Amino acid sequence: MRVSLTINGAAFSADVEPRMSLAQFVRSEVRLTGTHIGCDTSQCGACTLHVNGVALKSCTLLAVQADGAQVTTIEGLAKDEKLHPMQEAFRHHHALQCGFCTAGMIMSALDMLRREPLLDEVVVRHNLEGNICRCTGYYNIVEAILSGAAEMRKTSDTTADEC
Amino acid sequence: MFVGQPLLRPEDQRLIRGRGNFVDDIEFPGMLYIGFVRSPHAHARILSIDTVGAQATPGVVRVLTAADWAAAGLGRLVCVHPMDFTDGRAMNEALRPAFAAHRVCHVGDVVAAVVADSRFHALDGAEAVHVEYEALPAIGDTGRALDPDAPLVHPQFGTNLVTEVIKGDKTAVEAAFAHAAHVTSLTVTSNRLIPSPLEPHSFVARYDSALDETVLWATNQMPHMLRQWICQYALFLPENKLRVIAPDVGGSFGGKGSFLPEISTVVWMARELGRAIKWTATRSEEFLTQTHARDHVTRGRMAFDTQGRILGLEVDTTAALGAYLSNFAPSIPGNSYPQTITGLYRTPALWIRVRAVYTNTVPVGPYRGSGRPEAALVNERLLENGAREMGIDVVEIRRRNLLTREQFPYRSPVGRTFDCADPPRMLDILIDMASYSELRAQQKEAKRQGRLMGIGLAGFFEKSGSGPSGNLARSGAHHGGYETALVRVHGDGKVSLFVGTHNHGQGHEITYAAIAADRLGIDVADITVVEGDTATVPFGNGTWGSRSISVGGAAIFRASTAIAEKMAAIAAHRLGCDRADLRLEAGAYTAASTNQTMTFREVATAANRGFGLPPGLEPSLECTISHEPPDSNDPLAIHLAVVAIDTSTGVLSIEKYFTVDDCGVVINPMIVAGQVQGGFAQGIGQALMEHVVYDPASAQLLAGTFMDYAVPRASDMPPLESAFIETPAPSNPLGVKGGSETGTIGPPAAIVNAVVDALWDGGIRNIELPLTPEVVWRALSQMKANAPCV
């Protein structure tokens, strides 16, 4: 089946099997491999990306269901090599170890910021329910999200991640 | 000085942009994919395998079974750390098959493989393989594996026993128990876990017929060893014809050191078919083939004198190793576990028996802590129950038993010598940080209000750093304990470090760079670190047992020191001064007497061109050191958990958690704190929720996805307060000890102790892991049943 969508601002089409997930599509067809597949069952959130401005787990969404959508992946966040404030915060707070969950964490963080403008530790922890990190114990991830959110408020950049 | 600074990690620049290079990210044109057919039975006879439907499936290129493996004359997977019976008998060795031939022995056992032109077609083909089984009785319950009527996993042995390791002095222990004022007895179960790094296993292989070379990209933490295993035991390839690359690896925790049955087939097919080929596990396949961990059942007894001083410890453990021996399995309960069983306490007499057993379950292997969490759980549960039974405060009983600084080096009754530590100081810091007496007051107040609060501790050693090759060989290992580093100064003064360890989240790049930069007198930004490629990195034993920095870091320290000395000799010669007259500051050598300078880069260029060097000095600035550690090292920690229990639901809440660590000299405090936090999350997992459940009757796997195997999420993590002391390890020039496993070792023991503390007055003396609300609720119900009617 033909799937046409916009990824990080660029149009892309391909003929794929109907059973191909959006995560597989983004990784193997578009060859943007920053979106990862960790569990196949929407539990771990490593595959989180934004579809029409909303965070979704792309391992349980078929590519054909995203036909015509605007998709943003981790690769679409840094502008002209300049890191997004949330990416910068993850780096500065040692919020990643192996880095496998990180794209999903950052995409979820930006989505929670869209939904919950006033973040505190409890809200962040609650909103990370759908993202597993096996390395960090989450302490530095929570700090990074709060810090990245504060930085984004300073620059009023809360919606700038969507292309 | 860069050592001691919380420097940020260079690899984060690519990882946060989504530009990491993980194995499943690698694709080649015309690549093939493998799907594996796995046993749905825990134990069954294979009556027939019909591959006709699979062969006819669109896109399928090849279908493989045990018959094909045998016809190709291929070998076996290997167990590189066997453990023979203490009485000298050889262990009962049943290795993992690449393909089960006549019998399947666990759910997930590989029966066939299908190679096809896409992932989907490989799965279609695998579904079309029809296998006829005759189900056999299975054993899934570790505690029953040695019962006379237990089904035998491997009938040829006449028993499910793999090996029996006995250490200590039976007579001394019997005497200690005979004279004891008090004896505490417990049965302690260490729940079966799965390491669960977030990145599933993935292997890509590509054969270059022009060079007759195969490249394997592997999710792996010890690529040189993996190459050996594939070449020497499984496929009989020359080692110089296989290059193993472990690129970015998404966590491992010991799990990705396992020699999985699927790996060799990927390499074999790449060579056979001459095309690139990939296998990436689904999460469910991870549960079916990735080595599991823990799964001990232990009967323990501790003898005390009237003052609560430990007189003796007796431990009798049954440790499940699964259906076959994974490459490291026997050494975990047989070697690592007994070594730390007496923990931080003077234990005059010890007797320990470990019986490793086969069960119809996925093979067991290393996982963060590997033997030490099991040991700490037994030792610390017995100590705290003993204290409560004797009416002694749990901190006070530790004060009476802790080894003191002066007693190190301390030779424990199991025969291991522990290098250096100051446990009483750590306990002081811990109880001060936790405001222990205030906590006890709060507990009293909670009780008055009808709430349940508990406090528990756990202290333990974490043996780390692998130790010298000779020690490993004496304990049965077929691999070394040394590590190799190559330091190369390029002609422009930039530096590359090549190290035989592997980084999969631990931040080796900046840690190694800091060690070398301090020796060479340059900026960390001028140093690049290369790991995980057998073609460019000298042979190394990889990353496991918290050995990277104490062994690999020591190799870098020594090689960098040698390079620095050579560069100083060149600079002194060129500046016409004595070596003693030379200063190295801010990347330049200065002759103090003349104030003439030569930059680090100028010295590097001279060495590279081989011109103007002191007579007799060889050109080039490269140094390779294979560092043989004279000893392993002994990090330690003491933990304190504060819990509250909801009496109506059994929901356990960890209110606060405190850790004090001694991992020797800290190279990068940001990374070490991160290791403690991350390790702690895995400890919380074992304590509260993680459990690979098998149906006891059928040995069917019941927890096979992240929907039924719970790992901690952000909201599960309690407030954590950590402190560190530094007692430099004497066995390496950096003074470092392992720093990444203590967080995982302590929580099961500390948290169970805290829960038992909360429930003690209700008559509860023991409780099973993991402490799910159901388990705690059952204990609460038992308390209500025990309580006198009012």
B707 touches chain A (CB under 8 A): yes
- Give CA angle at B620 (B616, B625), nearest 5°: 95
| Selected residue of B7, B8, B13, B17 to mutate for chain A interface (largest A Cβ count, 10 A) | B17
Query: Which residues of A are less than 8 Å from B706 in CB distance?
Result: 39, 41, 43-44, 132
Residues of A whose CB is below 8 A from B722 = none
CATH topology of domain A85-154: DNA polymerase; domain 1 (1.10.150)
Fold of B296-466+631-786: Aldehyde Oxidoreductase; domain 4 (3.30.365)
A/B interface, count of CB pairs below 8 Å = 173
A38 vs B711: CB contact, 8 Å cut-off?
no
The DSSP symbol for B335 reads I
User: Domain segments of chain A: what residues?
Assistant: 2-76, 85-154
Provide the 10 A C-beta neighbour count for residue A82.
10
Rounded Cα gap, residues B141 and A110, in angstroms = 46
Q: Given a cut of 70, is residue B271 above it in pLDDT?
A: yes
Cβ(B682)–Cβ(B755) under 8 Å? no
Taking contacts as CB-CB distances below 8 angstroms, the residues of chain B near A141 are 714
For residue B421, which of B433, B409, B432, B429 has the smallest C-alpha distance?
Answer: B409
Q: Which two tokens stand for residue B729?
A: 């390890």
B70's enclosing H/E stretch is helix B66-71
Q: Which residues pair with B113 in a beta bridge?
A: B36, B64
**Residue B205: its H or E element:** strand B202-208
Q: Which residues of chain A does B506 touch, with a Cβ-Cβ cutoff of 8 Å?
A: 97
Q: What integer pLDDT is reported at residue A163 of this predicted model?
A: 41
Q: B248 to chain A: which residues are within 8 Å by CB?
A: 98-99
pLDDT for res B786: 84
Is B253 an interface residue toward A (CB < 8 Å)? yes
Helix, strand or coil, per DSSP, at residue B332:
helix
Q: Which residue has the tokens 């936790």?
A: B434
Q: Out of A24, A102, A129, name the one closest to residue B16 (CB).
A: A102
Q: Kindly determine whether residue B200 and residue A106, on different chains, have CB atoms separated by under 8 Å.
A: no
**Structure confidence at residue A162 (pLDDT):** 46
Work out the minimum CA distance from B579 to partner chain A, whole angstroms. 41
The three-class DSSP label of residue B744 is helix
Give the architecture (CATH level 2) of B12-132+196-289: Alpha-Beta Complex (3.90)
A85 touches chain B (CB under 8 A): no
Sheet with B130-135, edge to edge strand ranges: B103-104, B44-50, B130-135
Express each pLDDT in B198-244 by its tens digit: 999 999 999 999 999 999 999 999 999 999 999 999 999 999 999 99
Q: Report d(CA B6, CA B14) in Å as an integer.
A: 19
Pairing of strands B652-662, B720-725: parallel
Please, are residues B739 and B635 in contact by the beta-carbon 8 Å criterion?
yes
pLDDT at A118: 87
Other residues' Cβ atoms within 10 Å of the Cβ of residue B64: 23
**Do B246 and A3 form a contact (C-beta atoms < 8 A)?**
no
Q: Which residue of A has its CA nearest to B715?
A: A125
The pLDDT confidence band at residue B788, using thresholds 50, 70 and 90, is confident
Query: Mind spelling out the 3-state secondary structure of A55-89?
Result: EEECCCCEHHHHCCCEEECHHHCCECCECCHHHHH
pTM: 0.97
CATH architecture of A2-76: Roll (3.10)
Sequential pLDDT tens for chain A (163 residues): 999 999 999 999 999 999 999 999 999 999 999 999 999 999 999 999 999 999 999 999 999 999 999 999 999 999 988 999 999 999 999 999 999 999 999 999 999 999 997 899 999 999 999 999 999 999 999 999 999 999 999 987 555 444 4
- Chain region(s) in chain B for CATH 3.30.365.10: 296-466+631-786, 482-627
Spell out which residues of chain B touch residue A93, defining contact as CB-CB under 8 Å.
none
Q: Which of B425, B585, B551, B409 is nearest to B479 (CA)?
A: B551
Q: Using a CB–CB cutoff of 8 Å, tell me whether B682 touches chain A.
A: yes
Question: Confidence band (pLDDT; 50, 70, 90) for B777?
Answer: very high
Do the Cβ atoms of A91 and B13 come within 8 Å? Answer: yes
Q: How confident is the model at residue B354 (pLDDT cuts 50, 70, 90)?
A: very high
The answer on pLDDT for B573 being more than 70 is yes
- The strand pairing partners of B243, in sequence order, are B215
Whose CA is closest to B227, among B548, B673, B538?
B538
17-46 of A, contacting B, C-beta below 8 A: 17, 19-20, 24, 27-28, 31-41, 43-44, 46
**B438 in A contact zone (CB under 8 Å):** no
Say what the pLDDT of residue B93 is: 98
User: What's the confidence (pLDDT) of residue B564?
Assistant: 97
Mean pLDDT of B454-467: 94
Q: Provide the pLDDT for residue A71.
A: 98
Cross-chain CB nearest to B12 (options A96, A137, A139): A96
Which residues 6+ apart lie within 8 Å of B205 measured at CB?
B214, B215, B216, B217, B266, B267, B269, B270, B271, B276, B277
Q: Is A132 in CB contact (< 8 Å) with chain B? A: yes
* Residue B360: HSE in the Cβ half-sphere, 13 Å Cα cutoff: 32
Indicate the SS3 state at residue B298.
Answer: strand
Greatest CA separation for chain A: 45
Closest CA to A86 of A143, A22, A19: A143
A121 touches chain B (CB under 8 A): no
Which of B20, B248, B715 has its CB closest to that of A125? B715
Q: What does the DSSP assignment read for B209-220?
A: TTTTEEEEEE--
Segments of chain B assigned to CATH 3.90.1170.50: 12-132+196-289
Average pLDDT taken over every residue of chain B: 97
From the candidate CATH numbers 3.40.50.1370, 3.30.365.10, 1.10.260.40, 3.40.50.1100, the one assigned to the domain spanning B482-627 = 3.30.365.10
B71, with CB counted inside 10 A (0-12, 13-18, 19+), is exposed
Burial of B579 (0-12, 13-18, 19+ CB in 10 A): exposed
pLDDT the model gives residue B552: 98
